[in-house]
Structures are given as C-alpha cells and as structure tokens.
Amino acid sequence: MDNEHVRLEDAYAVVTPEDNRKLYARWAATYESEFVTDNLYVIPQRVAEIFVDVAGHLAEHATADADRLVLDVGCGTGLIGQALTRSDGQWVIDGIDISPQMLAESATKLGNDGTPIYRRLVAADLTGVVDIADGAYAGILSSGTFTHGHLGPDSLSGLIRFGRAGAHFAIGINAVHYAELGFDERLQRELVAGTICDFEPRVVEMYLPGSPHFGDTAVVAVFRRSR
C-alpha cells in the first residue's frame, strides 16, 4: 500500500486501532479526491438523510443549542457534517475520530456562512474509554466506521450513553460486518434491557450505480436511547 492509492481492500484488512491510526494517517489527504470520488461513495449522505428524516424536528424547533447538538462518530474528513449542513436545520455538530489527520480534514470544512461546520473535534479511540459526558448529545450519527477491522458491537453499545434520554441514533454499519459480528443480536439485547427503543434497521446502498462497489449495502441502525 502506498500513500496515493489506498484501496477499500486495504481499509478492510486493518485489525487494531493502531492499524487504523496508520492507515488513515496515510489516507487522509486523498480519501475524498480518490476514494470517495472514484467509488461514488454516498453512505455519509444516506445516513444524514435518514437522521434528518427521524430527527429533523430537533433542528427546526430547538430553542437551545443542546437540543440540536449531535455527534458524528468516526467523522473522518467531515462528509456527514457537510451533508447535515446542507439540510434545512441548524445543527451543532461535534466529531470524534481516532485519526488526527482525518480530523484535520474535518476542521477545514466550512458552512455557507464561512464558519467551521464542526464545533468541536475530538481525537479518541472508540474501542476504549472515551471522555464524553453521559447524555451529552441529542443525536448520534455514523457512517463508514462500523465496518471490517474498525468498530464492532461493543463500541456501538458504548455509544448509547453519549445520547441523552430520547436521543436519536442513525448508525451506518457495513451489512456483511453487521451479520458477521452479530449487531442485530446486540441491538435486540439492548432493546430487551430497555436501554434503547424504536429500533429500525434501514438497508441502504453505500455506493451509487457505476461504482465498482455498487451493491455493497449498509444497515443503518435507527433507534433512540430510552433512559
């Protein structure tokens, strides 16, 4: 693997958080100009659309910033933030990611008014303990980060406490990874335990027709924190 041509297969071959740090340090500069463009990668937009569908009322009717504060998990170069900003609502968006180089790309993303799209960008490994207060967010979104060699069901369960009671989640999970690692079983367990409610898996295409990866799907796990 060289710097210029990281392939999807390289990304799927990582195993540890340290592998991820190294991969994305090399990939950050060309992630959008090569991977996203060449492969017609659209899952960030799909997750943002689904989130707006279930939680758009938050941004439209919020009277305080806390009511429209959302977290983009594994924000990478900031594509979910860009997509949310293009929707009607006024969101306040934080991002978290293991890669300082990917976060640096997110930091360059500006809204129509020329201000940064992300209010705060946090470097952290989501397989470990993360310094975010319980109940900090009204919404939590993710795309491309729950996939082979990246994050598994334990990290998904770990996200739940970041949402306040009633918080909306839209978490995109590679569909093969979803089945292989038992995400559905985990989410059913969370439902039975009463930590989440209103769970609905929505299957979406991750790439547009014409992409070499067209046909690869993600399950967007839509749910709410119940308590």
Ligand X SMILES: C[S@@+](CC[C@H](N)C(=O)[O-])C[C@H]1O[C@@H](n2cnc3c(N)ncnc32)[C@H](O)[C@@H]1O
Measured from the CB of residue 168, what is the shortest distance to ligand X in angstroms?
Answer: 17
Distance in angstroms (rounded) separating the CA atoms of residues 15 and 126: 14
Instruction: Give 124 or 179: the residue with its C-beta nearer to ligand X.
Output: 124
> Interface with ligand X includes 117 (CB under 6 A)?
no
H helix intervals, the chain: 8-12, 17-27, 37-39, 43-61, 79-86, 100-107, 153-160, 175-180, 183-193
**Window 134 to 193, contacts with ligand X (CB under 6 A):** 143-145, 150-151
Which of the ranges 82-90, 98-106, 201-209, 217-225 carries the binding residues for ligand X, by CB under 6 A?
A: 98-106
**Contact with ligand X (CB under 6 A) among 59, 92, 126, 140:** 126
> Interface with ligand X includes 93 (CB under 6 A)?
no
Work out whether strand 163-174 and strand 137-146 pair parallel, antiparallel, or are unpaired. Answer: parallel
**Contact with ligand X (CB under 6 A) among 39, 45, 82, 99:** 99
**Contact with ligand X (CB under 6 A) among 87, 127, 211, 217:** 127
Give how many residues touch ligand X by CB under 6 A. 22
Distance in angstroms (rounded) separating the CA atoms of residues 162 and 3: 34
Tokens of 218: 């993600």
> Interface with ligand X includes 84 (CB under 6 A)?
no
> Interface with ligand X includes 211 (CB under 6 A)?
no
**Three-state SS at 133:** coil
- Provide the edge-to-edge strand list for the sheet that holds 217-225: 118-123, 92-97, 69-73, 137-146, 163-174, 217-225, 196-205
Q: Which residues bind ligand X (CB under 6 A)?
A: 17, 20, 24, 43-44, 74-76, 79-80, 97-99, 102, 125-127, 143-145, 150-151
